[in-house]
Amino acid sequence: MLQGQLNNDMIAADRHRVHHLADGREAIFFADHGHTVPKHVTDVRPLDPRGEPGGLRFDRLTGEWVAVAAHRQSRTYLPPKEECPLCPSGDGRLSEIPATEFDVVVFENRFPSLGPALGDIPQPGIGADLPARPNPAVGRCEVVVFTSDHTGSFSALDDERARTVVEVLAQRTAELSALPGIKQVFPFENRGQDIGVTLHHPHGQIYAYPYVTPTAGRMAARATEYLQATGRTLMGDILQAEHADGSRMVMEGEHFSVFVPYAARWPLEAHLVPHRHVPDLAALTSAEKDELALLYRDLTRKFDGLYDTPTPYISAWHQAPLTARDREASRLHLQLTSPRRAADKLKFLAGSESAMGAFINDVPAEQTAARLRGVAS
């Protein structure tokens, strides 16, 4: 049993129920405290059967996997409210959520980058020939719908709903981590058209990868090397140093702190880090999740409060890969970033960043932290 599994069992049966959509995909309903989920829902849409997975191609130059999902070209793109697939069904319109009202719903993506099949993928050896056909892009992609309201964002959620969303992310982390072949679970939110979202309705996503992603692999290797050399966790020492310095701190609670990283890559970037070493959201206690929901929500409000219009961002939950060594060394943390460098200017990943992975940031971390501290959350 994964650490934290018992905590996630606190979602009682009347607040958590699995239903199925017309093509067999799971749709999991979650309710706020004091609410209940529907016992029966029926998706009557004439959906085609689910297709085969896309392909995984191994880049022999970098040693990294690339998913090719041509079927995603036909996915819904920025529809008007009356055609939004994440709004409740009703008034003669059928959506991805076959209910007239809901609190939070998670469903398998209709246009997944990974899945629906599960399983292990081979690790190509040095000098191996290209396979006759790409490996199936096994894994799972889920959509997390925060609210039945079409407008708004995570920052607009009340305390209870923010807490439900955090509980859902923890529960899904535990469930997806137990699936065959999964090596890493990544919850995230792309917010704003400038980031590239295809649906305006407030939502996030979760990818369950059949491999460890390049960024997670580099971070885990670094954390493991540090633990072996010092006997301490890298993120724990970074957090201690940020507390001692203070110039990059943004918020501090009993269980979590928020700071702008010393070597921030983006003009707006903040890390939300637990004081206790935990590998993922599933390992958090109930008290920790209570505080996390509010700090996370308030941090997104600070990002929005910097300008007169909502700030586009990527909210990335860095969780340890699913190996014992990585989980011992790697600490959960949230990385919230935005390319917005001024009210009317965005930072684009140009030659140095895109081709070389060498970031150049126009804004010092200390300046960003001071601006965020100055915004009332």
The last residue of a domain, from among 149, 181, 209: 209
The last residue of a domain, from among 209, 232, 257: 209
- Whether residue 43 is found in the same domain as residue 162: yes
- Whether residue 65 is found in the same domain as residue 179: yes
Q: How many residues does the chain have?
A: 377
Give the per-residue pLDDT at 159.
97
- Whether residue 171 is found in the same domain as residue 283: no
Burial class (CB in 10 A: 0-12, 13-18, 19+), 335: buried
- Whether residue 192 is found in the same domain as residue 227: no
CATH number of domain containing 80: 3.30.428.10
Give the per-residue pLDDT at 125.
80
pLDDT above 50 for 18: yes
- Whether residue 222 is found in the same domain as residue 205: no
The last residue of a domain, from among 177, 209, 241: 209
- Whether residue 219 is found in the same domain as residue 349: yes
Give the per-residue pLDDT at 77.
73
Structural tokens at position 1: 């049993």
- Whether residue 22 is found in the same domain as residue 40: yes
The DSSP code sequence of 110-126 is SS-SS-SS------PPT
The pLDDT tens digits for 208-260 are: 999 999 999 999 999 999 999 999 999 999 999 999 999 999 999 999 999 99
- Whether residue 196 is found in the same domain as residue 228: no
**pLDDT-based confidence at 170, cuts 50/70/90?**
very high
pLDDT above 80 for 7: no
The residue-averaged pLDDT of 315-343 equals 96
Give the per-residue pLDDT at 47.
94
pLDDT above 70 for 147: yes
Q: How many domains in the chain?
A: 2
- Whether residue 86 is found in the same domain as residue 191: yes
- Whether residue 86 is found in the same domain as residue 229: no
**Mind telling me the catalytic residues?**
203
- What is the share, in percent, of the chain residues with pLDDT greater than 70? 97
Range with lowest mean pLDDT among 37-51, 161-175, 276-290, 361-375: 37-51
Give the per-residue pLDDT at 195.
87
- Domain region containing 192: 5-209
The residue-averaged pLDDT of 346-374 equals 95
pLDDT above 80 for 8: no
H helices present in the chain, as ranges: 5-8, 159-177, 214-230, 234-245, 286-305, 324-329, 351-356, 365-373
Residue among 159, 28, 173 at smallest CA distance from 98: 28
**pLDDT-based confidence at 13, cuts 50/70/90?**
low
Q: Cβ contacts of residue 228 below 8 Å, gap of 6+?
A: none
CB 199 within 8 A of CB 78: yes
- Whether residue 187 is found in the same domain as residue 227: no
The pLDDT tens digits for 249-306 are: 999 999 999 999 999 999 999 999 999 999 999 999 999 999 999 999 999 999 999 9
The residue-averaged pLDDT of 182-206 equals 94
- Whether residue 82 is found in the same domain as residue 167: yes
Mean pLDDT estimate for the chain: 93
